[in-house]
A = this chain, B = another copy of it.
Amino acid sequence: MRMLYIVAIIVALAVSLTTDAQETSSLHLMPWPASVKSTPSSQPLLIQTSFSVGLGNASDPALRRTAEIFLNDLRRHTGSLPLDFQISNDPGNAQLKLKSEHPSKRIQELGEDESYTLEVTSSGAELNAPTTLGVMRGLQTFLQLVEIGPQGFAVPAVFIEDKPRFPWRGLMIDTGRHFMPVEVIERNLDGMAAVKMNVFHWHLSENQGFRVESKRFPKLQEMGSDGLFYTQEQVRDVIAYAHERGIRVIPEFDMPGHSTSWFVGYPDLASAPGPYSIERKWGVFDPAMDPTRESTYKFLDEFIGEMAKLFPDQFFHIGGDEVNGKQWDANPKIQEFMRAHSLKNNADLQAYFNTRVQKIVEKHGKTMEGWDEILRPDLPKSIVIQSWRGQQSLADAARQGYRGLLSSGYYLDLMGTAASHYAVDPFSDGAANLSDQEKQKILGGEACMWAEYVSPENVDSRIWPRTAAMAERFWSSQNVTDVNSMYARMDHTSKWLDAYGLTHNTNYVPMLERMTDGSNISGLRTLADVVEPVKGYAREGLATAEPTSLTPLNRVIDAARPESATGREFGDLVNRFLAGQIKPGMEIQIRSMLSSWRDSEVQLSASAQDSSLVREVMPLSHDLSMLGAAGLQALDYIDRGEKAPEAWKSQQLALAQRAIQPRAQLLLTVASPVQKLIQASAGDKPTELPFPKNASD
C-alpha cells in the first residue's frame, strides 16, 4: 500500500508543479500588449448563447466580415455552434461593440495604423480602433482573454491600450523545396493572425520547384513543379484569406540563383546550355540566370508583369541570395560582357542584374525587396533588405538610408529554442547604436521556415509555437523580455492554436504510432519527449545517405519537437533544486522523471526489433536509461549527505559526455542537468555541458 501511496503523490505533484510555472502571468496574452490594466476583483463578461457583436456606425464594410471571422473563432474556442452568436444590428444591446474610425486600405499597406483600445467590464466590452486593422488585432486580444470560468466561458475585466512596435511582422514559408498545399498555408495564416503577425512571405520558387501557375510562361509550372503548384485562383484565394485577417502576402521569386526549376521549361534563361531537370538535392547549385542577355530581361519583364498583377502587395521579393557564380565563370560570352561593361567580379555582375530587375519591378508599380546580397549603392533607397546576416548588416543599410528587416536569428529550420529567438531583437547588437531616425528604417522581422526537412505533416510543429515568441518580439515593447513569462504564455498559446486546425500538437502521437505500427508508444514517447533534432545545419553533415526531396520525413527526428518541453522543465527543476529552492514534492518529481527514463529502454527494446525507425534511436534510449539511473544514484548520495566517490563520478560524467553526442541526428536534452546532479553529488560545482546550444554546426 505504501508504494501505491507514493505513486499517487508523484502523480499529484506532477500536476501541481507543472501548473505552477504558468501562474507567472494570469492572462494568457501573446504578444503582450503595450498596456494592460486588469481588475481581477470585477466580475467577468460572460460569453453566453445570446452573445452579440455590434458594429457601431461602421464606416468600413470589411468590418462585418471581420466580425464574422471573429465569431467563428470564438465558436471554435468555446465549442459553440454556428447558430448562437450574432452580429447585432442594434449595437446598443451588443455585448461587444466594435468601432473603427476609418476603413483599412483596400490593399493593405506597410505602416497602416494597427492600434486599438479594448475595455471589458461585466456588462459589456468596447473595442475602438482608428482602422479596421486595429479592430482585427483587438479581437485577437479579446479571443485570447476568453477562458472557462465558474459560470462558463468569460472574459475578465480589463482595459488594454495596444499598438505594435514594428510595422513588419512576418513569417516566410518556403514552398519551393517541399510543396505545401493550400490548407497548410491557410491554417498557418490563422496562426499568424492569432499572434498579430501581418506579413506572409511566400517563397515560391527554388531549384527544387516552381510553385505558381504562370499563364504567360506555362512551362514554368508544367515542367518545373512535378505538378505541385498553386493555380492563380488558389493564389487569389490565399491572398483574400490573408487580407481578411490583416495579413499582407509578399511573393518571392528567387533570382538569378536558386532557379534551376525555371530552366527545365526555359533553358535559354540559364547561363549554360540545357537541358535541365528539377533539382532533387539540397544546397547551393551552379545554375543561374544569364544576366548578359536582353532576352532574360524581356522574359522577366513579362513574368514580373504577370505576377505583379496577381499579387497586389506593394512589395515584390526577388531573392537574390547565394549565387555561386560557376556558370558565369565558365561562360566566355558572359566573361566578355563583364569586361566590356567593366564589371570586375560576379558581385558586380549580380548588381548589374539587380539594377535591371529593379527597374522592371518598379515599372510594374512595385517596390523591390531582396536578401542582403542585393544591397549595392546603385540601387534606389526605396528597396527593402531582408537580412539573414544580422543586425550589423541592417544597421549599415539603415545608415545608407535603406529600409530593412531582420531574419537572422529567426530561422525556424535551425531548431533553436524559443528563448534563443526571443533574445534576438532587431534593435540590438549592431543596430543598438542607431539614431532614432535610422531606427525607423528597420521595419521589423520575419521568422523563416526553410523547407528541406519539413512536410505538410510536420511543418506546423517547426513553425509553432516558437513563432509566437518571435511575434511577441516584433509586436511588444523591447523591454518585454521575461523568458519564464514568455514560456508560460507560449505553452498556453500552443494549445490555443489547436483550435485553428494547426497540427503541431495533434500530429505528434500519430507520427510516433506509425513508427511502432500502432502498438503502445509509451516507451518511444518517453524518449521522443526529451530529444531534439540537431541544431543549425548539422543534420546534413550527420546523414548516413545524402538526403533529397524524395527522402521520407517519417523518423523520430521528424516527429521530435525543435525544443523539448520536458527537457526544459527538467532542467529548470534541477537548477532550482540544486540552488536550494526546494519545494514540497520537487525531488519526487525529479525522481519520477529519472526513473521513467531509466525504464524506457526496456519498454522500447521490444519494438526495436520490429521497426527500423525505432531501432535507430536505441543508442539514445540506452543512454537515456543510463542517465536516469545515474541521476537517481546522484540523488541518493545527496539525500544521504554522502559524497559520491570519485571513481563513480568520473564514470558517470563520461557517460554524460557520451550522451550529448548526436545519434540518429538527435540530441538528448537531459544530459546536462543530469551531469549537474552528478557533480553536485560529488561536491563539485555544477557546470553546464556545452550542449545543445553550441552544437549548432
- A contact residues vs B (CB 8 Å cutoff): 1-4, 6-8, 10-12, 14-16, 18-19, 22, 28, 49, 77-84, 147-152, 178-179, 226, 228, 280, 455, 457, 491-492, 495-496, 498-499, 505-507, 509-511, 513-520, 522-523, 549-554, 558, 591-592, 595-596, 598-599, 602-603, 606, 609-615, 632, 636
Q: Once the chains bind, are A498 and B513 in contact (CB under 8 Å)?
A: yes
Partner of A148, one of B14, B49, B152, B514: B514
Contacts A3-B7, A15-B520 known; 17 new A-B pairs at CB < 8 A: A7-B7, A7-B592, A8-B596, A8-B599, A11-B522, A12-B603, A79-B455, A80-B552, A81-B178, A81-B549, A81-B553, A83-B226, A83-B280, A148-B517, A148-B610, A498-B510, A499-B514
| Chain B residues closer than 8 Å to A492, beta-carbon distance | 518
Q: How far is the CA of A520 from the CA of B457 in the complex (A)?
A: 26
Closest chain B CB from A301 CB (angstroms): 32
On chain B, the residues within 8 Å of A179 by CB distance are 82
Copies of this chain present in the complex amount to 2
Given the known A-B contacts A522-B15, A632-B4, are A514 and B552 also in contact in the complex, defined by CB atoms under 8 Å?
no
Asked if A603 and B15 make an inter-chain contact with CB atoms under 8 angstroms apart, the answer reads yes
Residue of B nearest to A503 (CB): B506
Residues of the B chain whose Cβ atoms lie less than 8 Å from the Cβ of A551? 49, 81
Among candidates B3, B150, B519, residue contacting A22 with C-beta atoms closer than 8 Å: B519
Q: Are B6 and A3 in contact (CB under 8 A)?
A: yes
Given A4-B591, A226-B83, A596-B11 in contact, is the A552-B151 Cβ separation under 8 Å? Answer: no
Pick the contact of A514 from B12, B79, B150, B595 — CB < 8 Å?
A: B79
Q: How far is the CA of A611 from the CA of B611 in the complex (A)?
A: 43
Known: A150-B612, A592-B7. A78 touches B510 (CB 8 A): no
CB distance from A68 to the nearest CB of B (A): 11
- A149-B612, A612-B148 given as contacts; is B506 within 8 A of A510 (CB)? yes
Contact A611/B150 with A7-B592, A12-B602, A499-B510 known, Cβ cut-off 8 Å: yes
A151→B612 contact, CB < 8 A = yes
Write the nearest CB–CB distance from A529 to chain B, whole angstroms. Answer: 14
Task: Take A8-B598, A11-B596, A595-B8 as given contacts and tell me if A82 and B49 are in contact as well, using a CB distance cutoff of 8 Å.
Answer: no
Most-contacted residue by chain B among A4, A492, A514, A591 (CB, 10 A): A4
Chain B residues with CB below 8 A from A558, complex form:
79
A6 to B5, CA, bound (A): 12
A544 CB to closest chain B CB (Å) equals 13
CA distance A675 to B132 in the complex (A): 62
In whole angstroms, how far apart are the Cα atoms of A4 and B3 in the complex?
9
Residue of B nearest to A511 (CB): B79
Return chain B residues, CB-CB under 8 Å to A520: 15, 18-19
A599: B residues at CB distance < 8 A: 8, 11-12
Report A224 CB to chain B, min CB distance, Å. 13
A509 — which chain B residues lie within 8 A by C-beta?
A: 505-506
- List the B side residues contacting A598 at CB < 8 Å: 8
